[in-house]
Structure 1
């Protein structure tokens, strides 16, 4: 059986309602629950970028929906950079999983009116100040989300083991220390700093020059 670090289960969780899931009977009332382990399965690894993307989407949806349950499929995602720049592709994949927003290869919808379509709701190269932005399709309200992973640095001990681990020269003990220290930083982001405004920054966004995708 797959065994994740125990702190994965302590990380914030996201509950959304997906009208498509409700329509097709995939879950009761279309309610879907996501945890950090889900994005790790998607990405195939756990790192500050994956954890940061997870937190950015959770905070962004909370900002837009307040006490309402977020609607999966009801939000567009805008990425500042192109998909091959840095960790943008990873962040976009996390955002797609949690929001349903997809690029041109996304679900095309059902019937002649293309109900529940999800394609062309993920865009790259957006003119935004932060890493990512979300916009509700029903109200047009938006939020820009930025992250400063420097607010949760690696432990000082990482300086001694990272070069040897990355170069492939580390022995089993060093590699074990590297992995433990790596995940400790992820743990601190998700558990100790999940609501830290120094880590995740949120800004109102009204993109009047970007037309809404059809709801």
Structure 2
């Protein structure tokens, strides 16, 4: 007969492997969840009301600067109005239990936000930056251990495992993923990168600037030249 495990679920560990873009999204979501419980709505209103304008600018959908300015002012007006309405509603309707009760889950989310932010900051700038709060040791106000965040760069050294045409790669400079169009071992890698607004851009990248995300080339072909 198996012995019953009495260990609470809260002290079990869960390992999740994700790409850097997903980790950045998780970081943003955890921060926003904490701020919502604190009555801070600026980031949420910014995301919801300004997203279309920024996407239209990136996609160059405006025919004249006047049209772009009109879109910007309209988006700003909506953002400001939404911030005011949410703050007013929060003060009128939100209940405020004791911190140890009402902030238990938000503070757990905070540990994830600060942990990812800290890991990415030191990865991108190993020398550190004492003037930037991102490099500070995460403050843990939760009832759980601080999550352990590690960045693992899966860069192959063998020729037959190197990045090939068709592979999905992540650019540490552009901070987005793209599909390889050309992979010359003696030259640059050329790939089409997703710019997160529905458009793509073609860039030539150094080998060390890229991380292999997913093998999609299938065959054993090596260098190919894009049309």
**Same fold flag (TM > 0.5):** no
Q: Scaled by the length of structure 2, what TM-score is found?
A: 0.24
Q: Scaled by the length of structure 1, what TM-score is found?
A: 0.25
Structure with higher Rg: it is 2
Identify, as 1 or 2, the structure richer in helix.
2
